[in-house]
Structure 1
Amino acid sequence: MKSHLLILTVVSILFPSCNDQEGRIRKIDFKTEYKFNSEIENELNKSSEPWKHQVSASDYATKGDYTNALKQWDLAMGARERNFSQSQIDSINDKYRKVNAIDFIVEQSKQTQVVIINEAHHNSHHRVFTKSLLRKLFDQGYSNLGLEALSYKDNLDSLNHIRKYPIQKTGYYIKDPQFGNLVREAIEIGYTIFPYETANSEADGKPREIDQARNIQEVINSKPNEKFLIHCGFDHVLEGTHNSWEKAMAARLAEYTGIDPLTINQVAYSEKSVPKYNDPLLKALAVKEPSVILDQNNKPYRYERGEAYTDIAVFHPKTQYINNRPSWLFENENQNVTIALKDVEMKFPVMVLAFKNGEDINNAVPIDITEIESKTDTCTLGLKKGDYSIVITNGTESIQIGKQVN
């Protein structure tokens, strides 16, 4: 990844403000590993690797660019249009009723000690949804959060008890601001965060599933009276028989602990970059909020693939956009905060990164990131109430602005 180290004279300009930091601008030395769109596209064009679109999807997700992440993932995986007939759509909507996914998951969580939910690594919305579960699950006794994405390179004791915010070496996927916010919120609420990915870089397939499950089992055994939320990637959430691994992590964990976990799949019916390519079931349901569907016996529709399954499938609505940014960035106490750029005297495009005051801007995972092509474009960030340092950089120059969100 390309880094930019800027050596600049510090200049401060004071603008009218509501506190000592609001509106204060100064040039700074700043380096970042987050890539500009042009860098991602250049690397993509130069690459001949068959997985190059998967890499670029992750790069876009890491910098909070949801739209381009979806596009690149669809190029990697392929997408085609499939539709149900109107009679099939009517039958589906007669057979099933939609209920709020958060409320249903929290209610079902009372029946077990372990909840496992998955994500697609290119999809920031999945991380936002898991974050939305944290407070209500904590109120039900869930106090431990296992993250596949956690890196052993970070000092996790410091993360949990001293620093209390994620840095970029906390994990590759955790560099996505929305994943970083999931970690921040979990710590603020009172969760203890732990890794469970195998430390053996050679492990894959069946050995990896076994190692992950054994690592989680060890933590559960050390806290037998506590409850656990596990956030994993893709197929690791599957119970039953897996067609490649014999058993995925979730099924292995059930085998090793005797605990029947609540397994939640929010990947299977995720939206595509072009709505017509969405799964026909997602299109038929036309949900307006994250939803679970129940049959006439109040049994949830579960994801099934061969002999593998999850207890619940979550259906997310089609994303709406505000100033080219997903509207779900501005939910769950987040405000839609506009950053004025018309007086910024530097070459565009620029990257705008928001950090909580007191966090190390050269190492912390930002609260939000967006790239802006022109100073006349609207720049909006999803921020909670608080004091922030807004960093604006074009890779050659950088400035820092204080921002208070009330």
Structure 2
Amino acid sequence: MNKLALLLALIPFLLTASINAKDVSLDQFPEQLRKGEVNNILSQFSEQPQMLAQVYSIMGRADKAYDLIQRLSNAPFCNDVGGYEKISGEARVKSMLADESIFMINENHFNPASRTLTMTWLPWLKAQGFTHIGFEALEPNERSKDGFYSQEPMMSNLIKTAEELGFEVFGYEAEKLAPEDAGFVERFEFRDKQQAKHVVAEIKKAPKDAKFVLFAGWGHVGEAPLRGPNSLTYRVLGDFLNNTYGYETFSIDTTACAFEPVDESPTTTYAYSNDGNVLNVGSVQPVDSQIRVPMAPADNPSYFRRLLGEAFLPNTDSWPPSTAVILQAYYAGTDVVADRVLSEANEKRPLFLDEGEYRVTLHDLDGNLLWQQRVNRTL
């Protein structure tokens, strides 16, 4: 692998490591969002490209992560598919998954594609006997969380859909932080050892016929040690589950090479196969299969969110024509986000809402409340 390809393969992990090393508290993030304090939030992450892309995704603007995702997906290994046939990633995974009892799927935190895909797969997974779903976004004993990851609309609705379908939702996130002076390897392994311990605890207390979906970020799904900076190897959640605790997982990577959709649905996936062997590239290669998911086009911020329901714009004169605003909907009686979207000056971008009751607010980006109303949505 040439130096450029190696750098691109490591970018997600290098960015994550640098972010984890910073003293950034996200505890106030949900409340700041509810108050519409967008300018304050954006200023906190202005020097952190990955986090800024993730924040924009949380604000319903996955299109603003386009440049970063495209750069990662233009790595040379993404285009080196000679001799491989392009096939349906979904069909490939489903043909192999029915007899598995632990299914691991990962995501790029600033591309909602994998959250969207998993949400639409949940009814099928339920029909195959899967009973539990775990999220790294939640700590143990939490069914939902007023936290960072779950503020993104597709993630929020993924968790909500799982609960409505009767999945046992649990968290397995690490509860302790690595020592401040920990290096790259120690930091990853410190976190993932805790994650594995929490997953195993859930498996042991579940019925013997229980089947698990584990939703994770980036390299946590690897079934063997991964290679980081300076060729250092480090162990991750999937490796601990398989090789320390003896649980066999079926894992897929969705992070290596996103594609720019033309006419494809937001849930379209591809894999590249040669005589039954799927091409795995990038930094998360020790998985059972790798599939490629779409990115939100640069000119289509609602590409994923449109699956949440029908377009909704409030009928109000309180929307200032030349001011950027954030429009947000929360499920009535909760702080669970249904959808939100940031509109720049002279734009009016809609929410996408299904039938139900919502608390809808409109703020300017300094947090001034311009309008709010309880909305009973019927379609």
Tell me whether the two structures share a fold, i.e. TM-score over 0.5. Answer: yes
* 1:208 CA drift (Å): 2.3
| Cross-structure match for 1:343 | 317
* 1:186 CA drift (Å): 0.5
Given candidates 342, 351, 371, the residue that maps to 1:371 is: 342
* 1:42 CA drift (Å): 3.6
CA contact (8 A) 2:256 2:283 kept: no
Deviations 1:147-194 (A, max 9, x none): 111145xx73xx4xxxxxx452xx321111211111100000001111
Given candidates 252, 255, 260, the residue that maps to 1:267 is: 255
Given candidates 263, 277, 290, the residue that maps to 2:268 is: 290
| Cross-structure match for 2:64 | 68
Structure 1 CA distance for aligned equivalents of residues 264 and 76 of structure 2: 16
Structure 2 CA distance for aligned equivalents of residues 212 and 41 of structure 1: 30
| Cross-structure match for 2:182 | none
Structure 1 CA distance for aligned equivalents of residues 348 and 320 of structure 2: 16
**Residue type at the aligned position of 2:291:** V
* TM-score with structure 2 setting the length: 0.76
Pairing 1:145–2:133 present = yes
The root-mean-square deviation of aligned C-alpha atoms, in Å, is: 3.5
Change in Cα spacing, 1:142 to 1:196, as seen in structure 2 (3 Å) is same
| Cross-structure match for 1:26 | none
CA contact (8 A) 2:221 2:237 kept: yes
Deviations 1:127-152 (A, max 9, x none): 11121221111111111111111145
Structure 2 CA distance for aligned equivalents of residues 189 and 32 of structure 1: 27
Instruction: Determine helix, strand or coil for the equivalent of 1:106.
Output: helix
Pairing 1:226–2:219 present = no
Change in Cα spacing, 1:44 to 1:201, as seen in structure 2 (3 Å) is closer
CA contact (8 A) 1:352 1:371 kept: yes
* 1:216 CA drift (Å): 0.9
CA contact (8 A) 1:64 1:124 kept: no
Structure 1 CA distance for aligned equivalents of residues 306 and 103 of structure 2: 26
CA contact (8 A) 1:209 1:245 kept: no
Instruction: Determine helix, strand or coil for the equivalent of 1:123.
Output: coil
**Residue type at the aligned position of 2:277:** K
Given candidates 309, 315, 326, the residue that maps to 2:286 is: 309
May I ask how many residue pairs the two structures share in their alignment? 336
* 1:254 CA drift (Å): 1.1
Change in Cα spacing, 1:119 to 1:79, as seen in structure 2 (3 Å) is closer
Structure 2 CA distance for aligned equivalents of residues 98 and 192 of structure 1: 32
Change in Cα spacing, 1:379 to 1:310, as seen in structure 2 (3 Å) is same
Pairing 1:190–2:166 present = yes
* 1:39 CA drift (Å): 3.5
CA contact (8 A) 2:54 2:109 kept: yes
| Cross-structure match for 2:359 | 389
* 1:304 CA drift (Å): 6.1
Structure 2 CA distance for aligned equivalents of residues 196 and 299 of structure 1: 32
Pairing 1:115–2:103 present = yes
Given candidates 304, 316, 320, the residue that maps to 1:328 is: 304
CA contact (8 A) 1:341 1:379 kept: no
Structure 2 CA distance for aligned equivalents of residues 387 and 295 of structure 1: 46
Q: Which moved more, 1:232-241 or 1:198-207?
A: 198-207
Change in Cα spacing, 1:403 to 1:373, as seen in structure 2 (3 Å) is farther
Given candidates 51, 54, 74, the residue that maps to 1:58 is: 54
Structure 2 CA distance for aligned equivalents of residues 31 and 305 of structure 1: 33
Identity between Structure 1 and Structure 2 (%): 19
Structure 2 CA distance for aligned equivalents of residues 304 and 44 of structure 1: 27
CA contact (8 A) 2:328 2:360 kept: yes
CA contact (8 A) 1:206 1:245 kept: no
Structure 2 CA distance for aligned equivalents of residues 120 and 393 of structure 1: 29
| Cross-structure match for 2:13 | none
CA contact (8 A) 1:265 1:303 kept: no
Given candidates 272, 278, 295, the residue that maps to 1:300 is: 278
Given candidates 187, 191, 195, the residue that maps to 1:208 is: 191
**Residue type at the aligned position of 1:266:** T
**Residue type at the aligned position of 1:209:** D
CA contact (8 A) 1:4 1:396 kept: no
Change in Cα spacing, 1:400 to 1:134, as seen in structure 2 (3 Å) is same
Q: Which moved more, 1:213-222 or 1:199-208?
A: 199-208
Gaps of 5+ in 1: 6-29, 160-165, 276-281
CA contact (8 A) 1:106 1:136 kept: no
Instruction: Determine helix, strand or coil for the equivalent of 1:142.
Output: coil
Bigger Cα Rg: 1
Instruction: Determine helix, strand or coil for the equivalent of 1:367.
Output: strand
Structure 1 CA distance for aligned equivalents of residues 30 and 102 of structure 2: 43
